[in-house]
Structure 1
Amino acid sequence: MASPPSSGFFAICLVHSLVALTCGTLMMFYLNEMAEFGLGQETARKLLGSTPHDQLLIQTSDSFAGLLLFAIGLLLFMVSFVKDRDFQSFFAKGCILLHAMMALWRVYFERRLEDLARDWPRQLAGDIVLGLSWVLFLIYSWREKYD
């Protein structure tokens, strides 16, 4: 007999979906403004590239990254309606792994980039919080299952 779905999965997926959709949209359409807001004018200008060709490549790359993030948000929205507890647990473990790998990327690679060195701790904290939300979901669903 299949176990009933967890009530927290829907809420966590919707929150993560909203974050991904918002960030993806901002990356696609307002990247320069968001870079200036988050990184400062000087760093944002450095990250834009020095030649028109570089600028076009960077803009295209960032727009595709935003589109990918938007698609991830849509996927999270669709997954939030899955009612199978085993899938929910599997999905949460995959999300924890994804956030842990992103945190490791920031620690080992992103902090070495001079222009981004001051921002990686804040982004690392975000990765940890997002991963922790899935850990708390697993703990809550485990408690629901065995109580």
Structure 2
Amino acid sequence: MEKEAISMPFKVYVFGHGLETAIKLQGSTPHDQLLIGTSDSFSGLLLFAIGSLLFMVGFVQDREFQSFFAKGCVLLHISVAVWRVYFGMKLEDLAFDWPRQVFGDFALALSWVFFLVYSWREKYD
């Protein structure tokens, strides 16, 4: 008797949302599963692009550009947090996850604020 192979996205869903929600997020029809898989693929591509952009910005020596970039990242993380509060909690299957995700978004925004404070301190000391 062979064990049924469990896909990697399902394991990630279970880790992030719990077993019951992960089963719901897999979709019930092949069309739903295709849409969810496509969405996951585009999310991964977006994360790769963002990582590449951060890597490239890390080599820029211009402090004003880095400050501008950090301010944009703070705005982006706060916007995502607001989106999660207004729309994320309306999704029945993910309703209990939004407070944790909003906290994470604010923590990421705060990390960029710390970078801005550190840069400001270096500039004026």
* Corresponding residue for residue 21 of structure 2: 43
Instruction: Select 1:124's aligned residue among 83, 95, 102.
Output: 102
Give distance in 2, aligned partners of 1:115 and 1:57: 17
Question: What amino acid maps onto 1:128 in structure 2?
Answer: F
Instruction: Give the ranges of 4+ consecutive aligned residues of structure 1 lying more than 2 Å apart after TM superposition.
Output: none
After TM superposition, the structure 1 = structure 2 runs for residues 1-147 of structure 1, keeping only pairs within 5 Å, are: 30-147=8-125
- After TM superposition, give the deviation of residue 30 of structure 1 in Å: 2.8
- Count of residues paired in the alignment: 119
TM-score, normalised relative to structure 2: 0.90
Query: Aligned Cα RMSD in Å?
Result: 1.2
Give distance in 2, aligned partners of 1:38 and 1:74: 25
- After TM superposition, give the deviation of residue 126 of structure 1 in Å: 0.8
Give distance in 2, aligned partners of 1:133 and 1:41: 31
Question: What amino acid maps onto 2:72 in structure 1?
Answer: G
Q: More displaced, 91-100 or 114-123? A: 114-123
Q: Which runs of 5+ in 2 are unaligned?
A: 1-6
| Structure with greater Cα Rg | 2
Question: What amino acid maps onto 2:15 in structure 1?
Answer: F
Identity %: 71
Higher relative contact order (CA 8 A, sep 6+): 1
The structure that is helix-richer by fraction is: 1
- After TM superposition, give the deviation of residue 74 of structure 1 in Å: 1.4
Give distance in 2, aligned partners of 1:30 and 1:66: 13
TM-superposition CA deviations, 1:26-74 (whole Å, max 9, x none): xxx8321100111111111111111011111111111111111111111
Give distance in 2, aligned partners of 1:75 and 1:32: 28
